[in-house]
Amino acid sequence: SFTILVKSMDESTKKSLKAAAEAAGNAARVLLSASEDLPYFGIVAKLTNKLIDVCDKVKCNKEACGALKIRICRLSEHMFSSPNGLAAVAQNRPNNSLLAMLCTRMEDILNEGVIELTRYTKRGFISKIMQGSKPQEIFQGLDRDMTECLQELSSGLQVVQLKEQAQTYDVVCNIQAKIDQRGGLEGLMADPAQLQSLAADIGVDIGDLRSEVLIALTMLGTQVSVVDENVRGIKDELSSVHQAVVQIQKSVSKTTAAPDLSSVQLTSHPVVDRSQPLGEGAFGKVYKGTYNHMDVAVKEVSGVGSLSTAQLAELSRE
């Protein structure tokens, strides 16, 4: 708050504040003087300039008034600095009732501030203070009211911009629908009657419309070329990935080929349970058994001596 600010100041800080207020005031005056003819904000600029002058003439609470002056200058910069200041954004939107209302409110706040602060620039201000007038509270209230109004102005401009964007979107969608109804961009260029019809429908010169359609087609062609190039790149990458997968599959198939078990010798005899066969094949029956403490299937081959060479080979593979 202004009270805490002033109480905590030493002489060096007060001098620095005074110099900062003077520099800010000089910069703000130039900005405000150049903005006095702007729509909506012209009167706001004049009153703000006047309020800064009054701050320089206040005879009491100079440090607090200097802090207020810096705040006013910063708010002025927010309103009038180009190209992003509120005034610059608003000047392209004439006859907007919301902006007009908010600027009128800011004018009222500034005008009241000029009147209130002027009381402390004349003789007799001590009497006013002794009668209960509190300059610092007036400074604080003015700063608060200006800040709140400025926030409302910012919000109001955002609302205006959003509405404009929505309207622009509707217009674009409407034009796009009309183009689609006439066969798209290619259809317009192929049929002069359709181009003439669209030009009349949306209220533009047919020559300008033809140029815009050609530009759009050129841009579309460029975009298609880029997409095609990207697709080709993706296909090349997929082909490389496919080749890598094939190589991996070949490598895996080599390493996982069925081992040759023809030379494997048992180190002990399995224990066979012949009470109930698990199955029966061409060369004998299969029983449940145990080998080295593991459950196994044991096939007992019958008639080995009568098997042909081919049958023995098949049995070996099995």
Confirm if 9 and 59 have CB atoms less than 8 A apart.
Answer: no
> Which amino acid makes up residue 36?
E
In the chain, the percentage of residues whose pLDDT exceeds 90 is 8
More confident residue, 276 or 14: 276
Domain boundary among 170, 202, 224: 170
**Within a domain: 261:** no
Which residues face 286 on adjacent strands?
279, 299
Whole-Å CA distances, 256 to 200, 251, 260, 317, 318 = 75, 9, 12, 17, 18
C-beta of residue 289 within 8 angstroms of C-beta of residue 281: no
Question: How many structural domains compose the chain?
Answer: 2
Q: Crossing angle, helix 135-181 and helix 97-118, to 10 degrees?
A: 170
- Computed over every residue of the chain, the mean pLDDT equals 80
Residue 116 inside a domain? The answer is yes
In a domain, 259, yes or no: no
Span 117-129, average pLDDT: 76
* Residue 228 is assigned to a structural domain of this protein: no
Does residue 295 form part of some domain?
yes
Band (pLDDT 50/70/90 cuts) for residue 111 is: very high
Q: Region 124-132: what's the mean pLDDT?
A: 66
pLDDT, position 161: 79
287 within 8 A of 300, measured Cβ to Cβ = yes
- Which value, in Å, is the radius of gyration of the alpha carbons in the chain? 46
Total length of the chain = 318
> Other C-beta atoms within 10 Å of 39: how many?
16
Specify which residues 273 forms β-bridges with. 288
Q: What is the mean pLDDT of residues 78-93?
A: 79
234 in a structural domain: no
Which structure tokens are listed for 170? 């509707």
The residue among 137, 153, 170 that closes a domain is 170
pLDDT in tens, 150-205: 888 888 888 887 887 888 778 778 888 888 888 888 887 888 888 888 888 888 88
pLDDT for the residue numbered 128: 63
Q: What's the pLDDT tens digit per position in 228-262?
A: 788 888 888 888 888 888 888 777 766 555 555 55
Tell whether 299 is in a known binding site: yes
Domain boundary among 170, 190, 212: 170
Whether 24 and 145 share a structural domain = yes
In this prediction the pTM is 0.49
Q: Is residue 14 part of a domain?
A: yes
Q: Which residue range forms the structural domain that includes residue 288?
A: 271-317
The number of C-alpha atoms within 13 Å of 10 and in the hemisphere containing its C-beta is: 1
pLDDT band at 114 (very low <50, low <70, confident <90, very high): very high
- Tell me the C-alpha distance between 152 and 265, whole Å: 94
Domain shared by 275 and 164, yes or no: no
Give the pLDDT band (50/70/90) at residue 1: very low
Q: Considering the domain boundaries, does residue 258 fall inside one? A: no
Is the domain of 164 the same as that of 275?
A: no
